[in-house]
Amino acid sequence: MPITPATATHSSSNGTAEAILLELVDEDGTTIGTAEKLSAHQPPGQLHRAFSVFLFDERGRLLLQQRALGKYHSPGVWSNTCCGHPYPGESPFAAAARRTYEELGVSPSLLGEAGTVRYNHPDPDSGLVEQEYNHLFVGMVQAPVRPDPEEVGSTAFVSADELARRHAKEPFSSWFMTVLDAARPAVRELTGPSAGW
């Protein structure tokens, strides 16, 4: 993968990590500025651009990831295949493909836009707030995943029925059902009616 401003390691000339910046947006998704990642998530939260990826195998099962325990936001909970934030000036599609590879070691064999959703989800455990304008992507994965243990604790492919059972008894991210419900029309188009999404 070529090194670009979006894929380069963010470190300063003295070797310390630079602040990660997010794109702040208005209610229409128009960029209005930037903010440091953690500060954008402090209550009441600043509306910023994000993305969520839902990848499926050839049997129509959704690839879930369990967030690594070391993550400062929503550690240890299950969530969609991949989610994150574009760097300022990076397209949501490029960010979605980049982070899927960085977190799961796999590139989607197919990835398409599935709309946007705007939400405000406080996380009672961390005290942080997800105030996001989220770009949704749906696609296929055909290669074995190779998760980065710093990002991902575990992965699982689940059918719609298996997801319902898991969601009833295991912790999921506060935003998971909001983004899944918003992506469902594109998910159904991709997986077909027999998959039950």
Catalytic positions? 83, 132
82: tokens are 């991949």
Peptide bond into 44 cis (omega under 30): yes
Let me know: does 160 contact 197? Beta carbons within 8 Å.
yes
How many angstroms separate the CA atoms of 128 and 122, rounded?
6
How many angstroms separate the CA atoms of 62 and 112, rounded?
15
The residue whose two tokens read 């939400």 is 119
**For residue 126, what are the CA distances in angstroms to 15, 38, 94, 169?**
29, 12, 29, 20
∠162-166-170 over CA atoms, to 5°?
A: 170
